[in-house]
Amino acid sequence: MIEYLLLAPILTSILCFLTKTRKQVETVSIIGSIATLVLGLVLVNNVFKYGTIVAWQNALFADAFSAFIVLIVSIVGFVASFYSVGYMGHEFDHNIFDIKKLKMYYVLFHIFMFTMLLVGVTNNLGLWIAIEMTTLVSALLMILYSRKSSVEAAWKYMIICTVGITFALFGTILTYYAAVKILGETGDALNWTSLIAVADQFDPTIMKLAFIFILIGYGTKAGLAPMHTWLPDAHSEAPTPVSALLSGVLLNCAMYGIIRFYTIATKSTGVGFTSNLIIIFGLLSLGIAVPFIILQEDYKRLLAYSSVEHMGIVALGIGFGGVYGIFGAILHMFNHAMTKSLMFFGAGNVLLKYETKEIDKVSGIVKSMPVTGPMLIIGALAITGSPPFSIFLSEFTILAAGFLQGRYVSSVLFLLFLIMIFAGFFNNISKMVFGTPKPGITKGEVSRWTLAAMSILIVFVIVLGVYIPPFFYDMIMKVVAVIR
Amino acid sequence: MIAKIALVILQLLAIIALAPLLSGIIKKIKAFFQIRKGPGIFQPYYDIAKLLQKDSVVSQNVSWLFHAAPIVSFVAVLTAGLLIPIFITELPFGFAGDLIAVVYLFALARFFIALAALDAGSSFGGMGGSREMFVASLVEPALMLSIFAIALNVGSTNLGYISQTVSAMGFDAFSPYQILAFVALFIIAIAETGRIPVDNPATHLELTMIHEAMILEYSGKQLAIVELGAMIKQLLVFSLLANIFFPWGIAQGVSAAAVIIALLAYFAKIVILGAVMAMVETSTAKWRLFRLPELLSISLMFSFLALVSFIIVKGG
Amino acid sequence: MSEIILGSKMVQLIIALILVSTFLILGSTRLYSCVRAFGIQSFLLACVAGIVAYSTGKNDIYIVALLTLVIKAAVIPYIFIYIIREIKVKREVELYVNVSPSLIIGGVLVVISYYLIRSINILSELSSFALSASMSLVSIGLFVMISRKKAIMQMLGILIMENGLFLGAISLTYGMPLLVELGIFFDVLIGVLIMGILIFRINKTFESIDTDMLKTLIG
Amino acid sequence: MVSGEMMITYLFSGLILFYFIGAVSAVLLNKKDGVCAFISFISAAVASVFGIIFSLSVIWGDPFSLALPGTSFLQFGIFVDALSAFFILVISVAVFAVSIYSIGYVREYFGKKNIGYLGFLYNIFILSMILVVSANNAIMFLIVWELMSVISYLLVVYEHEKPETRKAGFIYIVMTHIGTGFIILSFLILAGSSGSFNFETFRAAGVAMPPLLRDMAFVFALIGFGTKAGIVPLHIWLPYAHPAAPSNVSALMSGVMIKTAIFMMIRVFFDFLGAGQAWWGYLVLAVGTLSAIIGILYAVVEPDIKRMLAFSSIENVGIILIGIGASMIFFEGGRPGLAAIAAIAALYHLLNHSVFKGLLFMGAGSIIFSTHTKNIEKLGGLIKKMPVSSVLILVGVLSISALPPFSGFVSEWLTFQSLLLGFNFNTFTMIVLSISAAVLALTGALAAFCFLKTFGIGFLALPRSEHAEHATEANTPMLLGMGLFAILSILLGILPFYILPALDRVTRTFIGVSAFSQFFSISTFGTIVLPAKSSLSTPLLLVLMFIFLLVPFLLLYNARKSRAIYETWGCGQPVSTSRNEYTAHAFSKPVEMWFKNLYRPARQTEATYSASPFLKESFRFESRVEQVFEEYIYDPVVRFVMAKSQSAKVVQTGSIHAYLSYIFATLIILFMFVIAGGS
């Protein structure tokens, strides 16, 4: 089952490589991503129905949490491939991309999908490999545009994330060392299930060290402050569909790594150490995002900083702990993925239309793009945690968890940052969306594909804001059970 | 029932009939203090009668409101007259409104006159309206505090009930808080009736006028109504002062003798009050408008002191 | 048994030599000599792996040792030299921190690492020596990245860190499962390739590989 | 024959359904402006009729509740008791009139703006308000509460082409968000004690909480809901947002939306937290008093009519809160009967305010509709151009100025009386209540001043600009909508004896006792009789005034015949031009001088001279008053945040070496943390 899921994007990628024309490559890509989505959903369904699935002598492994990541990856990936057709098609039409580059884009896109799926379904140490692979592939995607800034961003991304990931490997080795002491030198010593089973016997000091390395390592990749510095560059310079994947999905994948190790480390060190650390990083991320969001001049960077903020929120949810906290964090990962992708897609449309990333040079989107404009407003409200949109529910749950756990100071700070971010973010977005467009901007949407992609996401954003379907609720509760 | 209606009509007639007289008396007393001869005390009657016979000249800018305003304000003042005990405490329609309602009926009257002042488009009218409303605003907090002081003492804002209770107290009514409240209300009365130092009813310079500036555009019958309304209002304010603080002699029940005694006592009281007012007017100069808040804060202070001393004396 | 191996003079000596090679990198101002020192370091690392493989008798580790020898000691240095030749970079290592302060800081980092690992006080003295050496490598690697201007030196810094990890892994746990090791080698190799591509790109777009040029994305 | 219970469910569903129909049809029909406007607003009006019947039957019947499907995590429910029903009534009444008005008003936008968008938002906005007052779960409440805020924000920025509108919208949504933050804190404290987000559990938990937590819940709720209600100093958004919105929406926002905050205050303070501490009541009273006076003071000097109305809303919210504060004091002091009277006064004023403020905003809308200006200095003479509108607006003006026998008078009278009832309390209470009453009196007088100015300058005398010169009467639906409210203003003034018993049923739900017959009664001529003979009968006053009309009519007999028309008196100079009229600014100058410490007026004059320095060629005069709260509280905070943000941005230097150092430093710090034995 898992193998098929992993095979789908690889095959698609190969087929994309073999195609000749734009039509072909787009068709292959769409079909491939539909296949990935379907397989992903089947996997998710199986996991939630029948329990954990393993394959390849435990090297591949899917429990509820993995399945949840697969769910996010495949949904956003699917939508992003739709969006790509519109977005990259526009670039192709305007001769920014030739067919070679377009093909290259789709090839890398599906490999990127593969690596992210791999993050979800791989067993422990493989996680490190998979995450490093995501960095490599996405760096390549970033330099498809040969702008100076893209190259700069890619370099920073590559270097900083590799350093971070190296730390994560160190943490993994230390964990392995702690596990080997208990389990002996078996191949099982790096499997999630066997680790968790004996995690409470691990040496706490080693685990503390290990957790620090993991937190800094994967935290770098997840964009937790102060290791987030590469993130605004990378996310704003990548091609928009990739930005959406980077912000919406890849960050979650890194977060997934942290949470996995958090579960193990907590069993050994006790809840205080790990959760305090993770809360500190969470608050730091929120706090650092505030000034940059308030004074932002580039709307894609604005979204990127908002991702830093949201990863901080997920971290807070995990740190607060309890059923509420973790439930909120998991729900938030999903909601953020949907909403942030929506926002990036909207931003992409704006970029195509206005050909600038500067907030001050964009105005009157509602007039020039009557569909994108309202969607951007909804997205902006949603991403800043306004009801009745989905992120409000998860943020509220996390806040409630903070209160229930007696972490009043953190909770109040959290709320304060949220409000400041709201003000900053909304100010910037409303400047762009409202008003009258500059002369020379024609009225009309860029492409129907992009709108289709956004419509799918907006359904998630709105529906999950007022109604959590029982099956989805059960799903998240199962994930919570895995983590706790 | 008939007795009640008779009482109402009697009270109305008394008010309408006495109002110009009070005006005349005050003018006469004022003249006395200023060592002038002055017009006769019935002069206001002649004035009104003359005005009623005159044709009116109306500004070309005005709307229907200009014509309606005197009527509305006159009616409002008259209605207030039915709520204030003049010679009897058991007012037939006393339940229709209390002290607060009286204040607001006066406000209604003032409101329409001030509106009409703006209608002609003259800057004098605007000036008068603005100042009139300004003075009213200045008065209001002190007025409400003294109403509170009075009402707290008696336990009600019903005017008939207040008179009744205070008159039942006899000389006990001369308590410090009563006196303080009286002083406060007297200052307010100066403002309400448009007298020096707040306003000069005898001025002929448009720029210094308040009330007169408002009604500058009225003439003939309309002016008569406006003037009469103002006089009635003055009388009512005096009656309030008289029958809230010194309700002696007021009739408790409906008997001819009591009513006659009450009427006489009432007349005496307002004449005395008028004399005091005339004295005050003669002994002060008109203040400039922006100094008025000082005067009103004095009144505010008095009424607040009245309230506090009541609370302290009576205990909470 | 493990203590014996690590305690053996041989391993200690090699680890010490690895540290020396690291300092060679810190102390040199020429790109070529840096690359050469890195090659030596990787070779020494392969030696450690070989000794561990020999004394534990695990065939897996032989493969790892071999891979280290081939990829880290041969292929990667070759890639470096290729890049340096192709883009005709100036041969100097441009520094933020001069050679002698660099060396002093490197020394301090070693001492700190040693102290840190000792103060954790959960490991035996011998494995803690290896671990502290590995920590030193990681931190010096990071320091190299921070203190050198050229993009290519940052790439080298990452590889030094990677070597440090490798040393830690091999001395603590005698390597990890083979599949995982292979994955890591694969990643490292691909990583180096992609970084190489990026360096070419940087050179092409900025006409220099000085990272000082890469300061346009701020705020 | 359906049972009563079913009937009520149908009514409620019908109410929701029609708002939905309104919203959906607006979107579907948005190509045809006229049809779209008609259908969507008529649908809202129909829904509001359902709302009126529904709420009346709940007030006079039993509470209504409805559980909606959901998971244990998110369980929505509807609960409508008499209190909620009262607010639904207020909303529905306002919506009915405003919807009819809107049919005419939106013609302004035909061909220029998307009517479907407006109709959609309008219906959803109302629906969200209905849900706010009927939500039975904290999470659901927060969702619909923010929905209401967001939709109203979108309505505020409907005319987003104007930069000032965007600014207004931004200030509004940020302030409302801050408010929601506090509400969330308050609810979390309550939920922390009750272990659930259901309002039912809040009721039990709130009373049982430790005092400190209760105090915090109270203060947070006061700040949170106060922001929405527009209490000083959290009011700054109101004078921006309400004027920026289309006038029909302003009418709803000022008339109804800010009342939902009052609703929740009552819910939280009385229902959830029980009697509470003595100082709660005093705080609410103080806040109310401050809001009343500050609100009206700014209204007096405001030249923009819609902004003036917004400031006046702050004032009226203050008056309502004075009643609620007094009620809390009495309630806490163990006098529920008196508390009920004070609460009735507050609710009565709330109802009245929603009517006359709605009327006035619609009136302002009519003025803008026909003159295209909001600046009072540019109006004038409208009473001749818009005769019907001006009469209707006059009714609103008289009501808001609390002149008898109009509606505002009755509720202000009740408020004064309820403050007077403090004579049954201790010294401190008496003094506090008296001071509050004095301030309230000043407020009332200034309100009269303010609205007199507005009506007098705006409607009377000569037109002051081209705009006013060419004004025409508003169209029929607009007049109908305004007329409804004007009639209602009068009815609410003269029929209090119908309304008080209903209000008594409402206040009974949160105070627990009925004040009727025990603390007040209704006797002949619809007289309201309070303890100690204080009584008021507006119907009788009205009748008396009508009878007395006879006197002036007799005196004025034949006056019309002998009337000469001539120029206005100007000391002998011909002055019949609008340039000689008294301006609004001049009119309010005395008050400006009186409170110059608050206003800090700044003036600028600029004169150009022709040849001689004594002959001015042109003269420019500019004067403005400071918005003290903005300039001394909010602006410094914003500047501080901006400055700090600017310096914090240094972190992102662009240098990869710096970035790597951060990671290095983090690592070292965490190591120290572990070595130090941190946990």
Question: pLDDT over 70 for what percent of chain A?
Answer: 99
Alpha-carbon distance A292 to nearest alpha carbon in chain D (angstroms) = 6
* pTM summary value: 0.93
D169, D231 contact by CB (below 8 A): no
Higher pLDDT, C209 or A258: A258
Q: Which residues of chain A have pLDDT under 70?
A: 185-190
CA distance A2 to A39: 9
Q: H-helix or E-strand containing D79?
A: strand D77-80
CA atoms of A334 and A339, how far apart (whole Å): 9
Count of domains in chain C?
1
- Whether residue A277 lies within 8 A of chain D, CB to CB, comes out as yes
D112 pLDDT tier (thresholds 50, 70, 90): confident
Chain D positions in Cβ-Cβ contact with residue A269 (cut-off 8 Å): 679
pLDDT at site A186: 64
- Measured CA to CA, the distance from residue D22 to residue A177 in angstroms comes to 66
A-chain residues near D659 (CB < 8 A): 156, 160, 229-230
Residue in C145, C184, C205 nearest the CB of A146? C205
B106 touches chain D (CB under 8 A): no
Question: Is the CB of D532 inside 8 Å of chain B's CB atoms?
Answer: yes
Q: Which of A173, A206, A209 is facing C165, going by the closest CB pair?
A: A173
* Domain limits, chain D: 1-195, 632-675
C contacts of D664 (beta carbons < 8 Å): 139, 142-143, 146
Residue corresponding to tokens 């390849």: A56
Q: What angle do CA C116, C119, C122 make, to 5 degrees?
A: 110
**The pLDDT value given to residue C1:** 40
Q: Which residue has the higher pLDDT, C120 or D150?
A: D150
pLDDT at D70 exceeding the cut of 80: no
pLDDT reported for residue C124: 64
Taking the Cβ of residue A308 and every Cβ of chain D, the question of whether any pair is shorter than 8 Å is answered with: no
Secondary structure class of D69 (helix, strand, coil)? coil
Q: Could you tell me the residue range of the domain that residue C19 belongs to?
A: 2-211
Question: Which candidate from D383, D416, D549 shows the least CB-CB separation from B65?
Answer: D383
pLDDT at C175: 67
Is B207 part of the contact surface with chain D (CB cutoff 8 Å)? no
Dihedral of alpha carbons D433, D435, D438, D443, sign = negative
Q: How far is CA A401 from CA A326, D108, D315, in A?
A: 9, 50, 39
Residue among D393, D533, D542, D561 with most chain B CBs within 10 A, to mutate: D533
Q: What is the mean pLDDT of residues B217-230?
A: 91
pLDDT in tens, D393-422: 999 999 999 998 899 999 999 999 988 887
* Helix axes of A230-237 and A125-142: crossing angle, nearest 10 degrees: 50
* Candidates C120, C145, C215; nearest CB to D654: C215
Locus of tokens 């009974």:
D508
- Residues A413-432 have pLDDT tens digits of 999 999 999 999 999 998 89
- Closest Cα in chain A, distance from residue C27 (Å): 22
Residue with tokens 């008093």: D289
Question: Once rounded to an integer, what is the mean pLDDT over residues D126-138?
Answer: 92
Query: Cβ separation of A430 and D644 shorter than 8 Å?
Result: no
**pLDDT at res. B8:** 86
Taking an 8 Å cut-off on Cβ atoms, the answer to whether B93 and D426 are in contact is no
Is A159's CB within 8 Å of D644's CB? no
Chain D residues whose CB is inside 8 A of the A156 CB are 656, 659
A268 lies within 8 A of chain D by CB? no
Is residue C185 one of the residues assigned to a domain?
Answer: yes
Q: Does D444 touch chain B (CB under 8 A)?
A: yes
Q: Which domain holds residue A153?
A: 2-483
Residue pair D246/D160 in contact (Cβ under 8 Å)? The answer is no
More confident residue, A484 or D145: D145
> Helix or strand or coil: residue C129?
helix
Q: Contact A158/C214, CB-based, under 8 Å?
A: no
Q: How is residue D526 written in tokens? A: 């619809």
**Is B122 in contact with D431 (Cβ distance < 8 A)?**
no
d(Cα D490, Cα D96) in Å, to the nearest integer?
Answer: 17
N-terminal to C-terminal alpha carbon distance within chain C: 55
D657 with C216: Cβ contact below 8 A? no
Contact B148 D523 (CB under 8 A): no
For chain A, positions 382-411, list CB contacts with chain D under 8 A: 386-388, 392-393, 396-397, 399-400, 403-404, 411
A180 touches chain C (CB under 8 A): yes
Contact across the interface for D654 and C216, Cβ inside 8 Å: yes
Distance between C199 CA and the closest CA of chain A, angstroms: 8
CA distances from residue A143 to A101, A105, A349, D551, D556 in whole angstroms, order as listed: 11, 10, 20, 94, 93
Total number of domains in chain A = 1
- Taking CB atoms and an 8 Å cutoff, what residues of chain D touch A226? 651, 662-663, 665-666
Mapping DSSP onto H, E and C, the string for A38-61 reads: HHHHHHHHHHHHHCCEEECCCCEE
Given a cut of 60, is residue C7 above it in pLDDT?
no
Is there a contact between B130 and D462 if contact means CB atoms under 8 Å apart? Answer: no
| Residue D34 confidence (pLDDT) above 80 | yes
Residue B107's pLDDT is what?
A: 93
Residue C44: pLDDT band by 50, 70, 90 thresholds?
very high
Query: Is the Cβ pair C211, D657 closer than 8 Å?
Result: yes
How confident is residue D1, by pLDDT bands cut at 50, 70 and 90? very low
* pLDDT at residue B300 tops 80: yes
3-state SS assignment for residue A298: strand
Contact of chains B and D by CB distance (3 or more pairs under 8 angstroms): yes
Which pLDDT value is given to residue D124? 94
The answer to whether the beta carbons of residues D105 and D40 sit under 8 Å apart is no
Which of C120, C154, C218 lies at the smallest CB-CB distance from D653? C218
State the average pLDDT over residues C10-23: 88
For residues D451 and D309, the answer to whether their CB atoms sit within 8 Å is: no
Q: Which segment of D251-265, D368-382, D505-519 scores lowest on mean pLDDT? A: D505-519
Q: How many CB pairs under 8 A join A and D?
A: 158
Residues in chain D with CB shorter than 8 Å from the CB of A422 are 174, 177
C139 lies within 8 A of chain D by CB: yes
pLDDT greater than 90 at residue C100: no
Residue D427 touches chain B, beta carbons under 8 Å? yes
Closest CA to D103 of D412, D445, D357, D475: D475
Name residue, tokens 């660099």. C102
Cα D602 to Cα A65, D424, D579, D605, distances in angstroms: 64, 47, 23, 10
Chain A nearest-CA distance from C161, in A, is 7
Residues 256-295 of B with CB under 8 A from D: 289-290, 293
pLDDT value of position D3: 67
Neighbours of chain B (3+ CB pairs under 8 A): D
State the alpha helices, DSSP H only, in C28-150. Answer: 31-56, 59-67, 76-86, 99-120, 125-147
Alpha carbon of D535: minimum distance to chain A alpha carbons (Å): 48
In chain D, which residues have their Cβ closer than 8 Å to the Cβ of B90?
A: none
Determine the Cα–Cα distance for residues A263 and C37; give it in Å rounded to an integer.
41
Q: Nearest residue on chain A to C192, judged by CA atoms?
A: A136
Of B97, B217, B300, the CB nearest to D536: B97
Contacts of D641 in chain A (CB under 8 A): 294, 420
> What pLDDT digit, counting tens, does each position of D211-251 carry?
888 999 999 999 999 999 999 889 999 999 998 999 999 99
> Distance (Å) from the C-alpha of residue B22 to the closest C-alpha of chain D?
20
Q: What is the pLDDT of residue D678?
A: 61
